[in-house]
């Protein structure tokens, strides 16, 4: 069966520090991968999605970036964190065999910027 792993679960970082969040998927190949952010009291906002290695699409302008160095690995990064980057970050995957498949989420990373 397919599983998705995200780490770390929680992270406290100072303003201006770098960030690297990692997500890996097991039990499937060539998944579609997604990074979402969930701010307090708001819905999930899509940040990035990827349909294959090295293919990244960005939804919103920001100081975050994403990379997909391997088929089942998706990384969210920042060179310098801002206070507004605080939130709950979720990675998700869906199958690549056509659209209209549900996305499945990792357990998320709760990021606090001080």
What residues from 71 to 100 belong to the interface with another protein (CB under 8 A)?
90, 94, 99-100
Please report how close the Cβ of residue 17 comes to another protein at its closest, in angstroms.
24
Residue pair 63/7 in contact by the 8 Å Cβ criterion: no
- What is the number of H-type helices and E-type strands within the chain? 0, 11
Residue 20 burial (C-beta neighbours within 10 Å; 0-12, 13-18, 19+): exposed
What residues from 16 to 55 belong to the interface with another protein (CB under 8 A)?
32, 34, 41-44, 46, 49, 51
- Residue with Cβ nearer another protein (14 or 102): 102
User: Of these, 57, 63, 84, 112, which contacts another protein (CB under 8 A)?
Assistant: 57
Task: For residues 50 and 109, give the distance between their C-alpha atoms in angstroms, rounded to a whole number.
Answer: 19
**Interface residues toward another protein, by CB under 8 A:** 32, 34, 41-44, 46, 49, 51, 57, 59, 90, 94, 99-100, 102-108
């Amino acid at each position: 069966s397919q599983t998705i792993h995200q780490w770390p679960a929680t992270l406290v970082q100072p303003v201006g520090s770098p960030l690297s969040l990692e997500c890996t998927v097991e039990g499937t190949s060539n998944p579609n991968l997604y990074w979402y952010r969930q701010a307090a009291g708001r819905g999930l906002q899509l940040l990035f999605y990827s349909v294959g290695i090295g293919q990244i699409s960005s939804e919103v302008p920001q100081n975050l970036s994403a990379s997909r160095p391997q088929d089942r690995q998706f990384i969210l990064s920042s060179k310098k964190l801002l206070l507004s980057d605080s939130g709950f970050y979720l990675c998700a995957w869906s199958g690549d065999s056509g659209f209209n498949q549900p996305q499945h989420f990792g357990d998320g990373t709760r990021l606090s910027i001080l």
